Structure 1
Amino acid sequence: MTDPKTVPVFIPGRMNPDTLKTLQERFDVRQGPPIDQMSESERAEIRAVALMGVFTAEMMKQLPNLEIIAHFGVGYDGVDAGYAAANGIMVTNTPDVLTDEVADTTIGLLLNTVRELSRAEVYLRAGQWEKNGNYPLTPTTLRGRSVGIMGLGRIGLAIARRLEGFGVSIAYHNRSARDDVAYAYHPTLAALAAAVDTLIIAAPGGGGTDKAVDAAVLQALGPDGVLINIGRGTVVDEEALIKALQDGTIRAAGLDVFAREPHVPQALIDLDNAVLLPHVASASVHTRKQMGDLVIRNLEAWFGGRPAETPVPEAVKAGIKQRG
């Protein structure tokens, strides 16, 4: 067992303020300089990393005594978890604690997209209701829609459970079918898109899903199609999506994530049939505190000789055990 106050924890880049404050109280936090500007002795001292973002294999190679990377967020595609696992480095993330918040936001984004709620508010604030009369009737609704979910994991399932209350039909695509749900399963994303008119992306990023929602999938979704993405921006081919929205290949899109955040293509911003959010699905004080608390518990467990609470699958598969 190690006294946490003696453990050097490196934080590259930004960190949730509440989490940072607690980390500073409990660990020996190092926030700079960047790894490639550290001296050899400074790099050798680092035993843990806490971050929300990217941590590559090359960065790990420069920290010879690194034991654990505690990632703030459920998606950890920016961390080379395969390299970490092969080299005995534990990687943790923060699943479950943000599931309900993200699922709630997804439903809100879906309703906003199909009923044009944000555009209607702009209409009111600009004085158009009083000047020009009622906002035009929206051409689409959630009534009678069929929803497909790409990625029926924790978040995808929470979204599906909420959608049941709206009376829509629900189907999904995963790498394999689940045996604990009655929703229709489609073995390919294209088949799912062809079977529904509303496609929700709740899948993680990474090489296996990069630009999975391409022109063919959007074509299959059809002219009444609505795309919602709260997974990872890289899952959608943004150029293909922009063209599909411009040409009427699909009706509308609601996006909380983008391929090169915080950059959002101007062509997307210019579209009236795109509802755009700045990656806020889990962005409440309540949920971010829970995520930060889990980051800290993982670090404290590791250096306390206990199993990490939420190791990523690569770490579990590699059989990485708690230290001590």
Structure 2
Amino acid sequence: MESLGVLLLHPFNAYLEQELDRRFRLYRFWETPREEFLRAHAGAVRAVVGNASYGADAALIDALPALEIVASFSVGIDRVDLAKIPQADRYVRAGLWKSRGDYTLTTRFSGKRVGIIGLGRIGQAVAKRVEAFDCPVSYHQRTEQRATYPSYTYYPSVVELAANSDVLVVACPLNAQTRHIVSREVMEALGPSGVLINVGRGPHVDEREMVAALADGRLGGAGLDVFEDEPNVPEALLGMDNVVLLPHVGSGTNETRKAMADLVLGNLEAHVLSKPLLTPVV
């Protein structure tokens, strides 16, 4: 196979780094000061591999005249918790089951109306899983896909979607149009019994408005794998019992990370062989 100069921006996965080194001519960006590296190797880099935290910004792209492809080691996945499992776990660990008796009743997930913002690959995976719990699925995105998903209900606005959902899942790409797509108005529409799940990116949600809505009881609960200013989490959220907080680990399994690495490698090899990319972004 033709030798491809690949710039890895950060050592975020040992398997990926090993395979890149084996299959291509690998440059490790963290080993040399930026300007020194660019002076010595800018013309040899034809591919960049980054992730959600270490991306190829405009300045880096402009500095790499031979750059042909940017491959991203990044993904999100759903985590929905209506049964208060973390709270129930703490109840048992504190010995309260024995001293106080049975834990308070919760609400079941089956049958809940699930609205999904962004019916892409991740949104489809969420829909497939919640359908197994007999949950009606609704969605919002730029275009309706009635022929592809005849059993799903499409809403032309996020506010309408939220007003007709018990659980609202954010799974769309982040761009200028989707920044703060979950606004105060959307949270008001979701309501005091609604649950917001964000497995996209932190800036999808107006975090300040969300914290206020949760504190005031205008929003029932939230499951958050991402935040606006990671790793900084709003202090107010830490003391709330109606939220589940995760440190951006939606894809944090060995199996998923290997699959992500294999996808990066597959895209790079397809590019070298002039074959269609496996997951192109155009």
User: Under a length normalisation based on structure 1, what TM-score does the superposition of the two structures give?
Assistant: 0.80
Alpha-carbon deviation of 1:144? 4.5
Look up the equivalent residue of 2:74 and give its one-letter code: G
The answer to whether the 8 A contact 2:38-2:63 is kept is: no
Superimposed CA distance per residue, residues 263-309 of structure 1 (whole angstroms, 9 cap, x where no aligned partner):
22222222111101122222221121111112112222222343433
User: Cα gap change, 1:193/1:305 in structure 2, threshold over 3 Å: closer, same or farther?
Assistant: closer
Number of equivalenced pairs:
276
Q: Write out the 4+ residue segments of structure 1 that deviate beyond 4 Å after TM superposition.
A: none
Shift of 1:52: 1.4
How far does residue 44 in structure 1 lie from its aligned partner after superposition? 2.1
> Is the Cα–Cα contact under 8 Å of residues 6 and 48 in structure 2 kept in the other structure?
yes
1:255 matched to 2:224? The reply is yes
**Can you list the C-alpha shifts for 1:8-33, whole angstroms capped at 9, x where unaligned?**
31111232111111112222221132
The match for 2:213 among 228, 244, 258 is: 244
The CA deviation at 1:147 is 1.6
In the TM superposition, 1:99-178 aligns within 5 A as: 102=77, 106=78, 109-110=79-80, 112=81, 114-138=82-106, 140-178=107-145
The residue that corresponds to 1:46 in the other structure is 45
- Measured in 1, the distance between the counterparts of 2:166 and 2:270 equals 45
Partner of 1:10: 7
Partner of residue 19, structure 1? 16
- CA distance in structure 2 between the aligned counterparts of 1:47 and 1:13, rounded to whole angstroms: 17
Larger RCO, structures 1/2 (Cα 8 Å, 6+ apart):
1
Alignment of 1:1-324 (within 5 A): 2=2, 4=3, 7-32=4-29, 33-53=32-52, 54-74=55-75, 102=77, 106=78, 109-110=79-80, 112=81, 114-138=82-106, 140-179=107-146, 180-181=148-149, 182-312=151-281, 314=282
| CA-to-aligned-CA distance 1:17-68 (integer Å, 9 cap, x gap) | 1111111222222113253342523222222211113211111111122222
**In structure 2, C-alpha distance between the alignment counterparts of 1:265 and 1:44, rounded to whole Å:** 43
Once residues 161 and 42 of structure 1 are traced to their aligned partners in structure 2, the CA distance between those partners, rounded to angstroms, is 45
Q: Note if contact 2:48-2:56 (Cα within 8 Å) is conserved in structure 1.
A: no
Q: What amino acid is the match of 2:28? A: Q
* Residues 78-127 of structure 1: per-residue CA shift (max 9 Å, x gap): xxxxxxxxxxxxxxxxxxxxxxxx3xxx2xx32x2x11001111111122
Partner Cα distance (1:141, 1:309) in 2: 38
* Runs (5+) with no aligned partner, structure 2: none
- What percent of counterpart residues are identical? 42
Q: Secondary structure at the match of 1:70?
A: strand
How much does 1:151 deviate?
0.9
Give secondary structure in 1 for the equivalent of 2:109: coil
Q: Tell me the TM-score normalized by structure 2.
A: 0.91
Residue matched to 1:92: none
The answer to whether the Cα contact below 8 Å between 1:150 and 1:199 also exists between their aligned partners in 2 is yes
1:12, 1:34 within 8 Å by CA — same for their partners in 2? no
> In structure 2, the residue corresponding to 1:38 is in which secondary structure?
helix
Secondary structure of the residue aligned to 1:271 is coil
SS in 1 for 2:102: coil
- Residue type matched to 2:254 in 1? V
Q: Which residue of 2 aligns with 1:81?
A: none
Q: Give structure 1 stretches of 5+ with no counterpart.
A: 76-101, 315-324
SS in 2 for 1:136: coil
Q: Which amino acid aligns with 1:56?
A: D
